[in-house]
Structures are given as structure tokens and as C-alpha cells.
């Protein structure tokens, strides 16, 4: 078996089943368990695979209010505000962006009261100049991952 595209195939197999055993991955990819183990170790060391986490359906757990918060921050405070948001409860994504706003954060909340509390805390931050919040009415697609392209040799 050629090892061309093996890393991409391994990533795709793990996207399909992140709990797959080394043996089942080896069988699926038609390589040895040692080969899978070595490639997996390399992917982890290179930071391509960064942990194995379950996909959580927050809506099913009662966190069915999703807010998208856009923030303008004081020029030199961008890194500080970003870090505070990364550590804030219920924030599942934080992006530094170009455009009218500096940061876009996505939060999941059990109710609008919890969302309001979190947003009011943000607005009390002296490093935040302006905010705009949108409440998601329907998540047509969320937390999607995509398979890597496999090139033919």
C-alpha cells in the first residue's frame, strides 16, 4: 500500500468516528496498526489533530439561545478582550475580524436572561467601544467539519 494521502485519509476517518480504535483505522486504511499509530502521533505533534472531543448538541441540553456579538474595541486592547472572551462562560467561538467590527463572538445560553447578563458584562468593559448583538432564529448549519480532499496519484 502506498502511503500517499494517508494522513488525509486518517483525518477523514477520524472525522467520521473520533473514537475509532487504531486497529479499526488500520483495517479501514489497509495499513498496519503501527503505521496508523505513527501517523496519528505525527499529526498530533504537528498540531493538525488537537484533541478528541465529543460533538455536543447544546440545544438538546437546554442552551438553545445563540447570540452573535460583534464588538469594536480600543485599538491596543484587542488581544486582551479576545482573551477575556475566550475564557468567558458560554462563548463557543471568538474571532478577530476585519470590517466594521474587531471581534465576533458566538455564545450559547439557556435563556435570554443569561444572554442579557453576559452582554451587559461585556458592555461594562471599558475596552469595548461598541457592540451589536444578533440572536439566531434558526441554525441551518452549525459546527460542521469537512473532509479533506484526497488527490489521485
The domains located in the chain, with CATH, are 6-45 (1.10.10), 59-135 (3.30.70.920)
Residue 153, pLDDT above cutoff 70? no
pLDDT average, residue stretch 84-93: 92
CB 47 within 8 A of CB 58: no
Residue 12, pLDDT above cutoff 70? yes
pTM: 0.79
**pLDDT band with cut points at 50, 70 and 90 for residue 143:** confident
H or E element in which residue 67 lies: strand 65-73
Amino acid at each position: 500500500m502506498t502511503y500517499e494521502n494517508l494522513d488525509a485519509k486518517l483525518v477523514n476517518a477520524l472525522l467520521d468516528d473520533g473514537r475509532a480504535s487504531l486497529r479499526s483505522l488500520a483495517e479501514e486504511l489497509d495499513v498496519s496498526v503501527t503505521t496508523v499509530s505513527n501517523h496519528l502521533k505525527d499529526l498530533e505533534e504537528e498540531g493538525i489533530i488537537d484533541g478528541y472531543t465529543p460533538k455536543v448538541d447544546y440545544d438538546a441540553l437546554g442552551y438553545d439561545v445563540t447570540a452573535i456579538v460583534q464588538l469594536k474595541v480600543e485599538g491596543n486592547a484587542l488581544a486582551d478582550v479576545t482573551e477575556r472572551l475566550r475564557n468567558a462562560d458560554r462563548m463557543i467561538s471568538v474571532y478577530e475580524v476585519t470590517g466594521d467590527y474587531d471581534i465576533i463572538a458566538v455564545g450559547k445560553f439557556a435563556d435570554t436572561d443569561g444572554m442579557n447578563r453576559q452582554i451587559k458584562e461585556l458592555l461594562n468593559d471599558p475596552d469595548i467601544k461598541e457592540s451589536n448583538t444578533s440572536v439566531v432564529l434558526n441554525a441551518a448549519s452549525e459546527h460542521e467539519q469537512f473532509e479533506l480532499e484526497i488527490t489521485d496519484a
